[in-house]
Structure 1
């Protein structure tokens, strides 16, 4: 298998170095580690890992050749990889030593097409007391409501996921920069069945959460804009799209998360009500984002439909038309 790590900024340099080092120290070694970076970061990475190409496992640096960011970089890395199993690790995540061993074990079943693990948040300044664990997806981490044992999951978390190369090629690679992991999972499940996409929580990585991502502003923006963007992503998936995971999340969060936090408040947890409010606000913001995305999509489709009619009318007004 190949481990693929994509990066775009020098601001996370130390985290990137730690991420690559964690991939190099796996109990089950990959056949290679590929670090795919955007142009501004390429020279520094190429120089830093220049001597690692001949090491075991070999580590090589390549430059993102497609327009776009994370999804494009993952496509570049996947094209360059030699392994049949492609394991993706974020540049700000460090894998536990047995990560690959556990993550790839389900592939012994040929029916399995993609496997994801559990990213555990590592907070720069500590976890905010008001932040509900049901919304740890905001950080790109595992959240309350995910399965606690191995089983099918509609949407793996991109910081810690893998896929068979052949399946990734069949679905046309990653189709999105902002929702590339979700898009890939839905397309794989559509052609192979929902049982082909597996979540293995024992395969863990430590995902760094900077202080800038623990603010209310970051929370509300992620809740709103992620769900706004999902509308377009689902529209592009066609028949592969399904809102089942989103519906289950809302139901679980409101029926389990809210009562639990209210109970914690009743037991004396001063922040229980704050987390309750954050849950309700987060669900409301997600719904508002979805509605905004739907409105934007409808308007865009209307403009596309009106454009040919406008062109015909303009041509007729100018005395044009088909030759007789």
Structure 2
């Protein structure tokens, strides 16, 4: 597949922001997310709120969400997921209607920094960039447990230790904070996965345009809310196991675009990196360091077990 033209990478790119929501329980967080879009230094041309099979939420959002950006020159559209699927379908429903050159995806429980879009758009000045993602930083409802290693912040949908510290190519963007050229996403029919839509987008982009087409910019930041209910071992181990079990079906759906090597490299690098960092922490007197390394090993073992379970299903 040919790359988007140089003209499409010009600084005057227009952006459509897409937020998906499925529950009224996160209404306050959703409103914060939408307000953060209105506060951007680079204003989007439109904001889509795509509601995932919740009529009550759709009706309330239709009444109240446009007023949140009434003082901004941003068109607000509240729509419903037209597919039977969940998050992937909700995002595709909005992508098919959007007009922006770039589609920027923000989770309903994440608030973007004011320069979030400005940074993402600037990265598209490089015509090689087809998908660009930023760093979702965790905003914990209660203090971060000391037993959770930074390599495992992916469990919460957040940036983790091991991602590039400067802008550059990456194998896997994070769904709470990612963007893509609209023409590229629609060329393969939008999202083909619900629970692994960020992996789906990243691998399809790399397969179609090359590994350097997927770019991570740690300076494009959103604050991703992590409720206290997720700071438990029960939540942690289930995420490690079931996310990786589900990836098996997602990889099958990717066909030739799948890249299992990326997942294997992540595991090996995490073990090596964690040993170095936690070894230094222990030398500095942090008695939780061996606990975190043990948790990291357990997380990778749970991921491998989940992958095996997925293959045996």
Question: Unaligned regions of 5+ residues in structure 1, if any?
Answer: 297-324
Sort the Cα spacing of 1:239 and 1:62 in 2 relative to 1 into closer, same or farther, 3 A: same
Q: Which residue of 2 aligns with 1:226?
A: 243
* Count of residue pairs brought into register by the alignment: 296
Counterpart position of 2:60: 44
Instruction: Confirm or deny that 1:161 pairs with 2:161.
Output: no
The gaps in structure 2 that reach 5 residues or longer are 1-14
CA contact (8 A) 2:136 2:157 kept: yes
SS of equivalent to 1:3: strand
Aligned twin of 1:120: 137
By how many angstroms is 1:259 displaced?
3.5
Whether the 8 Å CA contact 2:31–2:65 is kept in 1: the answer is no
Matched, 1:64 2:81: yes
What residue number does 1:306 align with? none
Which one of 216, 232, 235 corresponds to residue 215 of structure 1?
232
- Indicate yes or no: 2:33 matched with 1:16: no
- Equivalent residues of 1:4, 1:86 under 8 A apart: yes
**Is the counterpart of residue 254 in structure 1 residue 268 in structure 2?**
no
1:258 Cα deviation after fit: 2.3
Shift of 1:291: 0.9
Corresponding position of 1:292: 309
Is the 1:171–1:184 Cα contact (8 Å) retained in structure 2?
no
Secondary structure of 1:173's counterpart equals coil
2:153 to 133, 136, 139: 136
- Please give the alpha-carbon distance, in whole angstroms, between the structure 2 residues aligned to 1:231 and 1:258: 28
Separation in 1 of the partners of 2:186 and 2:77? 22
Q: Are residues 1:187 and 2:186 paired?
A: no
Q: Give yes or no for the alignment of 1:3 onto 2:17.
A: yes
Residue 276 of structure 1 and its aligned partner are, at CA, apart by 1.3
Contact 2:150–2:160 under 8 Å retained in 1: yes
**Which sits farther off after the overlay, 120-129 or 32-41?**
32-41
1 CA distance for matches of 2:116 and 2:71?
Answer: 23
Do the aligned residues in 1 keep the contact of 2:92 with 2:190 (CA within 8 Å)?
A: yes
